[in-house]
Amino acid sequence: MTWEYFKRRLIFILWNGDSKLRFRNLRYLPRWIVLVFDVFLVSVSSIITYNIINLLTHQFYELLSIEWQIVLTVFVYSLSFLLLSTYSGVVRHSTFVDVAKIAIACLISTVVLAGISYLSYFSTGQKIFLVPFLIINVSITFISMLFFRLTVKMAYQSFSKVNRKRKNVLIFEVSDETIALAEAINGSNEDVFDLVGFISSKKKHTRVKILGKPIFRFDDQFYARINPLKVDAVILPAQVGNKAIQEKLIDFCLENTIKILSSPKIEAWEDTSIDLVSNIRQIQIEDLLDRHQIILDDTLIRKSLSGKNILVTGGAGSIGSEIVRQIAAFKPNKLIVFDQAESPLNEISLELIESYPKVDFQFVLGDIRNSKRVAEIFESNRISIVYHAAAYKHVPLIENNPKEAVDVNIMGTINIADLCVEHGVDRFVMISTDKAVNPTNVMGATKRAAELYVQSLKEIHSNRTDFITTRFGNVLGSNGSVIPHFKKLIEKGGPVTVTHKDIIRYFMTITEACQLVLQAGTMGNGGEIFVFDMGKPVKILNLAEKMIRLSGLEPYKDIEIEFTGLRPGEKLYEELLSNDSETLPTHNEKILIAKQKGYTYNYVLDHLNNVIIAGANDDNEMVVSCLKKLIPEFKSNNSIFESLDRQVR
């Protein structure tokens, strides 16, 4: 190390961007201030050491005067501080690493000073420093520097408690993971949370403390015990704890206006680049639904998709875009994203090109109703797999516009399916809906009609395409779904509108829905309808009440809930299977095969031709009437078409 190096280092410390001392906003001590304090402490320590030694003996080596001994000592220590950057850490967040750097710097300084002293002895016959002087000096210097940092740290913590309101939090459950989370909170640079204890779902721990914090059992006396602590929030670590107790705890928190927070999943805790505390967030309503994670067989999916040319219709929509994202991760040869919505297609194109630069994307603007436009795609690309997500899906809107649903949901599907047969596509995976089961509205009926058509294609002798259908319920976070709608109403101050107090629905996340589609695409031999074990149905009224409480408000007090009555075509209870259906298991316990009655190709085609002709004549009643003849279980509910049920019967 040269003097030029230390000079440049010193100039950098004094003049870099951290050198400004802002008394009005003292977030941290500038590095030059820390260095000056450390040098000052070495000087004071040397003087104190001299006085201590002077009390023990008056005999000092006379090669250098006491003043020059102190100057040399300070100089050597300063060089060590520069070399090891002992000043660079934020003092209020000093850690064991910072303490170790100080200890090493002090030890190096002592060794160097001792070395200089003995070099002097060998060259001149006289030493510079007494050995007791070096030992006492290094001890006092280290202790004083450590004390300085502890004082700053304690002062900052006291100051931050006064000037910054931290949330008093409890952590649910006692385990290795939750203790690790507690340690992360206590040692975090983020002064957001103040851990006041743990919650146990098992036995009482009245005499046991962890990290100095008490453990509270969640029982009838729980609120009375935690009330003095003024708890602001409870942290629920992901994948930790008794589910049944956790649900009761969530209800308790919602009723007592205690915020519910969630921490990252356990796998993320091993990633040291992730600040666990900064990733603790307020729990979302999606997290409170009783959902079971789907476990995918990545090997089968990768084998099915890797190196293939794949087409996704409706690829810019909620479901379609997530299917595209998941497919892109399996390295297809070419991924064609087809949609009629210009702006969403442009947005997804920008995202995908950035996220998956090695994937060959083709973004095609077009309409599945335009058979010529769709045919161009099949003719110019050797497509192996089609995921058909394009559809009209909003029940009340479709109920008033049956012809449009016929054009898109039926004719569009026929266009894509026929081209798959014509061009020998390996697999066609259709995204359907639970509303196709015992349909009570036009949307569900058109999707059921599309299901029947693709099922019937299996008997065509020239067909070598496996036609697969997947059914699932309401998708959380998709365009027009209930949760974003409720959020908007709550933000406006209400009222939150629910169609009926007893209405229930099944829910799943977009990610889960698309995982089901990909998994189903690797199963079966064609003609199957795959349904998903979606857990427990959710009462929409309970969903609305929980969302209001999660916003820190009280239902019926801060935000009103109004019942508007069932919408056209809407039913109280969605079903996953029709009355005459049976199920068969698959290798994934969450995915079942619905054995549902199908029809011959000619029978389905004859009825659909009647539906299409009625649509071309703008005769909505005839459209619905023809659909009811093809689908006997289609019974309109709360709709202008209810009278047609009697006519068909």
pLDDT at position 168, please? 85
CATH number of the domain within which 243 lies: 3.40.50.720
Contact yes or no for 114/57 (Cβ under 8 A): no
**Rounded (10°) angle between helices 3-15 and 31-56:** 120
Residue 275 sits in the same domain as residue 313: no
Partner residues linked to 21 by β-bridges: none
Q: Is residue 641 part of a domain?
A: no
**Residue 258 and residue 220 share a domain:** yes
Q: Which residue bears the tokens 């005839």?
A: 622
pLDDT given at position 153: 66
From the first residue on, what is the mean pLDDT of each consecutive set of 10 residues in the chain (649 residues)?
Answer: 55 46 42 72 81 73 74 80 64 58 81 82 77 80 78 64 68 80 72 81 69 82 83 77 74 82 63 59 69 67 91 93 93 95 94 92 95 94 94 91 95 95 94 90 94 90 88 72 82 87 82 83 83 78 85 84 84 65 71 80 94 92 93 89 74
User: What are φ and ψ of residue 134, in 5° steps?
Assistant: -65, -40
**308 and 434 assigned to the same domain:** yes
Do 183 and 326 have their domain in common?
A: no
Is 292 within a domain? no
Q: Which two tokens stand for residue 218?
A: 């969640």
As a whole number of angstroms, the distance between CA 276 and CA 192 comes to 12
In-domain check, residue 638: no
Domain of 458 in residue numbering reads as 298-630
Residues with Cβ < 8 Å from 173, sequence gap 6 or more?
A: 198, 199, 200, 201, 237, 240, 241, 242
Q: 228 lies in a domain?
A: yes
* 343 and 272 in a common domain: no
Q: 547 and 421 share a domain?
A: yes
Is the separation of the CB atoms in 144 and 112 below 8 Å? no
Residues 421 and 541 reside in one and the same domain: yes
Total number of domains constituting the chain: 3
**Apex 612 CA angle, 606 and 618, nearest 5:** 145
Nearest to 568 by CA among 396, 393, 394: 396
Looking at the structure, do residues 342 and 446 belong to the same domain, yes or no? yes
| Residues 341, 412 within the same domain | yes
DSSP 166: P
Residues 347 and 468 in one domain: yes
In terms of Cα–Cα distance, which of 553, 420, 581, 412 is closest to 495?
Answer: 553
Asked whether residue 221 is domain-assigned, the answer is yes
pLDDT of residue 276: 64
* Per-residue pLDDT at 41: 78
Instruction: Examine the fold and report which residue of 249, 283, 317 is the final residue of a domain before the chain moves on.
Output: 283
Tell me: do 277 and 343 sit in the same domain: no
Which residue among 218, 250, 283 closes a domain? 283
In this prediction, residue 122 carries a pLDDT of 81
Q: What is the predicted pLDDT for the residue at 508?
A: 77
Kindly state the helix (H) or strand (E) to which residue 504 belongs, with its residue range. Answer: strand 504-505
List residues with catalytic annotation: 435
The closest of 469, 318, 481 to 394, measured between CA atoms, is 481
Predicted local distance difference test score (pLDDT) of residue 499: 87
Asked which of 283, 312, 343 is the last residue of a domain, the reply is 283
**291 within a domain of the structure (yes/no):** no
Q: Beta strands 233-236 and 361-365: pairing type?
A: unpaired
Picking from 118, 84, 76, the residue whose alpha carbon sits closest to that of residue 102 is 84
Is position 49 within any domain? Answer: yes
Question: Contact at 8 Å (CB) between 372 and 418?
Answer: no
For residues 547 and 513, the answer to whether their CB atoms sit within 8 Å is: no
| Model pLDDT, residue 258 | 83
CA angle 390, 438, 464 (to 5 degrees): 50
Asked whether residue 342 is assigned to any structural domain, the reply reads yes
Asked whether residue 229 falls in the same domain as residue 329, the answer is no
